[in-house]
């Protein structure tokens, strides 16, 4: 990416950011059979919005990289509009917002910015919009505090804990040296400075937007305290990355919580959504198109992760495995230098879940973790 050339201090480059900064796309294959798409493959163009239901409109913000976009959901809020998710801090994204302000939102008053979770493609421009429009940022505490911790880590040097975890996962010394040379601190560059104060939202809250009320339903695993928004009366769920139609969100063990069980949290969140939100809602995801078939999709996500856990447990029962040895069993694409970090995080998440369930044990051999199946 190029240097900061925009008068707002937003980077002008359009090169693809490091995949680890968005962390949205998993490398695991999941079925989207049984879903229906009311708008087909249609999507709003530059400066345009599409009304998808009473109380909500859809804008699409272009992004570099394989995902290509993020959906921003615009919620009617009394006489204004609440913005949900924003895009990365790049002029490619901020120019899309300027086009919206000159087009479909030319007469709109922005009332608040809501971040579903901390990843830069979701809150990268949240601070910018909040500053420009004189409004507050609304997020869960878990997402905001974690974002502040990561953004505040301005070191250029890869932390030793990261290298230790890579070695434990079975990385070669050459791969570890390459990782060391890639540096650190890229996350902060993708997020416009966050406001010092914010409005906390939490699970079960009802956000009063005049004619509409949106209930906060939180999930975890992809991020610490991800907020979905459910309009029960209109039958609409803004799902962020908690439910995507065609890809599975990345669920990884991260260095901020190296002993966590994110896949366990992810599976519990799927069960929570199945029990809380009706099957017939219109689901509005962060990536892809609005769809019907929420319970079908949640069940597919749950069952396919469970099948991978079963395959891993079987393989570990035959011979001890390191995290890197699990890649062919978990992923449907080659794992190379560009995606080894994310793949390792996902592999560790699956192995940790098996540990918690008592299906494998972990042995440390000279700093490398070997997983043994339990009879």
By percentage, how much of the chain surpasses pLDDT 70? 93
In terms of pLDDT, which residue wins out, 21 or 57?
Answer: 57
pLDDT category at 3 given cuts 50, 70, 90 is very low
How far, in Å, CA of 51 to CA of 201, rounded? 26
With residue 370 as reference, give the H or E element that holds it: strand 368-373
Which pLDDT score is estimated for 1? 36
pLDDT category at 189 given cuts 50, 70, 90 is confident
The residue-averaged pLDDT of 294-302 equals 97
Domain spans, the chain: 19-373
Tell me the per-residue pLDDT of 205-231, one tens digit each, with 9 for 90 and over. 999 999 999 999 999 999 999 999 999
Task: Assess if CATH 3.60.15.10 describes domain 19-373.
Answer: yes
Tell me the per-residue pLDDT of 270-288, one tens digit each, with 9 for 90 and over. 999 999 999 999 999 999 9
How far, in Å, CA of 206 to CA of 200, rounded? 12
How far, in Å, CA of 20 to CA of 17, rounded? 8
- C-beta separation of 28 from 335 below 8 A: no
Residue length of the chain = 375
pLDDT category at 32 given cuts 50, 70, 90 is low
Four-residue CA torsion sign, 272, 276, 279, 283: negative
Beta-strand pair 291-292/360-365: unpaired
How far, in Å, CA of 231 to CA of 214, rounded? 5
Tell me the per-residue pLDDT of 79-103, one tens digit each, with 9 for 90 and over. 999 999 999 999 999 999 999 999 9
The residue-averaged pLDDT of 119-123 equals 96
Identity of the highest mean pLDDT range in 21-30, 95-104, 185-194: 95-104
The region of weakest confidence among 113-122, 178-187, 334-343 is 178-187
Is the pLDDT score of 31 beyond 70? no
Tell me the per-residue pLDDT of 254-273, one tens digit each, with 9 for 90 and over. 988 999 999 999 999 999 99
Which pLDDT score is estimated for 187? 83
Is the pLDDT score of 346 beyond 80? yes
Is the pLDDT score of 235 beyond 60? yes
Within 13 A of 163's CA, how many CA atoms are on the CB side? 16
Which pLDDT score is estimated for 13? 55
Which pLDDT score is estimated for 153? 80
For 239, the token pair is 């799902």
């Amino acid at each position: 990416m190029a240097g900061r050339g925009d008068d707002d201090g937003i980077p002008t480059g359009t090169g693809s950011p490091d995949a680890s900064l968005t962390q949205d796309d998993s490398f695991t294959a999941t079925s989207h059979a049984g879903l229906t798409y009311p708008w087909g493959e249609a999507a709003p163009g530059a400066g345009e919005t599409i009304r998808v239901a009473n109380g909500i409109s859809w804008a699409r913000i272009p992004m570099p990289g394989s995902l290509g976009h993020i959906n921003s959901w615009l919620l009617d809020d009394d006489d204004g509009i609440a913005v949900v998710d924003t895009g990365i801090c790049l002029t490619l994204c901020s120019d899309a917002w300027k086009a919206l302000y000159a087009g479909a939102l030319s007469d709109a008053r922005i009332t608040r910015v809501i971040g579903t979770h901390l990843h830069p493609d979701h809150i990268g421009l949240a601070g910018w919009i909040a500053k420009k429009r004189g409004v507050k940022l609304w997020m869960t505490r878990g997402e905001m505090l974690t974002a502040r911790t990561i953004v505040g880590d301005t070191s250029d040097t890869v932390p030793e804990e990261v290298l230790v975890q890579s070695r434990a996962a079975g990385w070669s010394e050459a791969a570890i040296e390459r990782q060391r040379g890639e540096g650190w601190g890229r996350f902060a560059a993708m997020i416009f400075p966050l406001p010092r104060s914010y409005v906390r939202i939490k699970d079960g809250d009802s956000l009063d937007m005049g004619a509409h009320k949106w209930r906060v339903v939180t999930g975890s695993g992809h991020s610490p305290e991800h907020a979905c928004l459910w309009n029960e009366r209109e039958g609409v769920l803004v799902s962020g990355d908690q439910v995507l139609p065609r890809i599975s969100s990345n669920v990884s063990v991260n260095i901020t919580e190296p002993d966590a069980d994110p896949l366990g949290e992810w599976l519990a969140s799927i069960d929570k959504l199945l029990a809380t939100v009706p099957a017939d809602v219109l689901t509005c995801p962060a990536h892809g198109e609005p769809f019907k078939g929420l319970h079908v999709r949640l069940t597919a996500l749950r069952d396919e992760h469970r099948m991978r856990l079963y395959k891993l447990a079987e393989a570990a029962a035959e011979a001890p495995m390191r995290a890197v040895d699990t890649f062919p069993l978990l992923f449907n694409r080659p794992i190379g230098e560009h995606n080894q970090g994310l793949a390792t995080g996902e592999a560790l998440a699956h192995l940790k879940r098996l540990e918690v369930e008592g299906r494998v044990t972990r042995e440390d051999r000279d700093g490398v973790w070997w997983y043994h199946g339990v009879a």
